[in-house]
């Protein structure tokens, strides 16, 4: 760790979440270097005092920790491994903080890759979407070796409002998949409820109003429900990303010999909405599979 608790952090992946996290790390005065496959997308971060590197290895050179916020395990492996990969440049005491959403098996493989290179692996997916990421208010589901905990604090405090420490690496991902199952059932349930309201000639805004503020009316339903009613879906989390997560949930359930009834149905609905052209929109666009958005 550098003087004053400031650390060198390499952020790999500057998509919706990673860019916001890099900005908050820089705002906390850490020395932030980013790498993104599509370099132009990382360039605007220079305004925040962030250095844009050409390769993951260049980003990781001299850093205390490497934070990955990439789509899936394949992308993470690609950024960590190989000649230009971050592990080639990260020192022996270095930390890898895997913060994206991956599968149960993926996390085991990633841990072996990192530990095989002599670094410490912390599995730390997050709860919260684009806005909490921008506000530095994510909830970090951290898991990994006790010896890694202290070194993670500067980064986790900059990106999150709360860190929940769980057990061995992989516990964070398991809790994240449990939480994703909940979110996906809520979003699909909300979509079908709004479609039902319309089919029954009920103004869906009246439904949202009726549940607002009570135990059945979480803020999430208000935010996503308004998007569904307006038929406008600027992405916080894309429908393609949500499909990935439903698949991860299903894989995890299968490997635990648990049969889920809702997740396969949700996957089918998400697939249909993606076929209709909504894959890069917010996952609230899943309503398109049940009913084309219409203004009422
Ligand atoms: N958005 C949310 O609400 C949210 C919340 C919690 C967790 N997450 C998780 O956080 C992760 C990132 O999500 P996001 O919403 O920030 O996604 P995003 O905006 O789509 O960004 C994805 C990032 O991954 C990179 N990438 C994708 N495939 C790659 C590959 N094969 N090789 C190298 N880089 C690759 C992209 O690079 P390019 O710019 O070159 O495409 C981009 O930097 C995902 O695992 C997601 O499930 C998202």
Gyration radius of the chain's alpha carbons = 20
User: Can you tell me the distance from the alpha carbon of 186 to that of 40, in angstroms, rounded to the nearest whole number?
Assistant: 35
| Nearest CA residue ID for atom 9, ligand 1 | 100
In 3D space, the residue among 70, 66, 146, 150 whose CA is nearest the CA of residue 114 turns out to be 66
**Angle value at C-alpha 77, between 17 and 18, nearest 5 degrees:** 10
Best residue among 56, 70, 134, 173 to mutate for probing ligand 1, ranked by most atoms within 8 Å of CB: 70
Q: What residues pair up with 224 in beta bridges, in sequence order?
A: none
Tokens of 121: 């692996």
Match domain 3-168 to its CATH number in 3.40.50.720, 3.40.350.10, 3.30.70.1290, 3.30.390.10: 3.40.50.720
Please determine whether the domains at 3-168 and 174-289 fall in the same fold group of CATH.
no
**Does the CB atom of residue 126 touch ligand 1 within 6 A?**
yes
Determine the 3-state secondary structure of 211 from DSSP: helix
Tokens representing 10 are 């390499």
pLDDT of 2: 43
State the greatest distance between any 2 C-alpha atoms of the chain, in Å, as a whole number: 64
What is the full per-residue pLDDT of the chain (296 aa) written as tens digits? 444 678 899 999 999 999 999 999 999 999 999 999 999 999 999 999 999 999 999 999 999 999 999 999 999 999 999 999 999 999 888 999 999 999 999 999 999 999 999 999 999 999 999 999 999 999 999 999 999 999 999 999 999 999 999 999 999 999 999 999 999 999 999 999 999 999 999 999 999 999 999 888 889 999 999 999 999 999 999 999 999 999 999 999 999 999 999 999 999 999 999 999 999 999 999 999 998 555 43
Q: Write down the CATH number for the domain with range 174-289.
A: 1.10.1040.10
Nearest to 84 by CA among 64, 55, 61: 55
Angle value at C-alpha 250, between 246 and 255, nearest 5 degrees: 150
Probe target for ligand 1 pocket from 10, 12, 17, with the most ligand atoms within 8 Å of CB: 17
Two structure tokens written together for 212 = 């607002």
Q: How remote is the CA of residue 14 from the centroid of ligand 1, in Å?
A: 8
C-alpha 117/C-alpha 66 separation (Å) is: 13
Place of tokens 């440049």: 89
Question: 71 CB under 6 A from ligand 1?
Answer: yes
CB neighbours of 257 closer than 8 A, spacing ≥ 6? none
Specify the DSSP element, H or E, that contains 10: strand 8-12
Q: Can you tell me whether residue 198 is helix, strand or coil? A: helix
Query: 21: CA distance to ligand 1 center in Å?
Result: 12
Distance, in Å, from the CA atom of 44 to the CA atom of 63, rounded to the nearest integer, reads 21
Cα–ligand 1 centroid distance for 16 (angstroms)? 7
Instruction: Give the angle subtended at the CA of 257 by the CAs of 255 and 259, to the nearest 5°.
Output: 110
Q: What is the pLDDT of residue 34?
A: 98
Element (H, E) at 109: helix 104-116
CA separation (Å) from 219 to 144, 163, 197, 212, 213? 32, 22, 19, 8, 8
Domain ranges of the chain: 3-168, 174-289
pLDDT of residue 225: 97
Coil, strand, or helix at residue 100? coil
How far apart CA 15 and CA 132 sit, in angstroms, is 14
């Amino acid at each position: 760790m550098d003087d004053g608790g400031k650390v060198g952090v390499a952020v790999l992946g500057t998509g919706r979440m990673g860019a916001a996290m890099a900005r908050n790390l820089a705002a906390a005065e850490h020395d932030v270097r980013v790498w993104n496959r599509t370099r132009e997308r990382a360039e605007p971060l220079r305004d925040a005092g962030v250095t844009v590197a050409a390769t993951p290895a260049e980003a990781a050179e001299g850093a205390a920790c490497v934070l990955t916020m990439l789509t899936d395990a394949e992308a993470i492996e690609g950024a960590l491994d190989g000649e230009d990969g971050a592990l080639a440049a990260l020192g022996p005491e270095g930390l890898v903080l895997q913060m994206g959403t991956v599968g149960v098996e993926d996390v085991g493989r990633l841990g072996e890759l990192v530990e095989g290179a002599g670094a410490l692996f912390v599995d730390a997916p997050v709860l919260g979407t684009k806005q909490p990421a921008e506000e530095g208010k994510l909830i970090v589901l951290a898991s990994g070796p006790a010896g890694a905990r202290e070194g993670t604090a500067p980064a986790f405090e900059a990106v999150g409002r709360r860190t929940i420490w769980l057990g061995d690496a992989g516990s964070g991902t398991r809790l994240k998949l449990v939480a994703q199952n909940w979110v996906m059932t809520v979003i699909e349930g909300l979509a079908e409820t709004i479609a039902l309201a319309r089919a029954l000639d009920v103004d869906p805004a009246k439904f949202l109003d009726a549940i607002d503020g009570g135990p059945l009316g979480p803020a999430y339903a208000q935010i996503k429900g308004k998007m569904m009613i307006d038929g406008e879906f600027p992405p916080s989390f894309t429908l393609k990303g949500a499909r990935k997560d439903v698949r991860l949930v299903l894989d995890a359930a299968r490997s635990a010999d648990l049969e889920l009834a809702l997740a396969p149905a949700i996957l089918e609905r998400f697939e249909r909405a993606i076929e209709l052209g909504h894959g890069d929109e917010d996952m609230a666009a899943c309503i398109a599979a049940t009913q084309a958005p219409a203004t009422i």
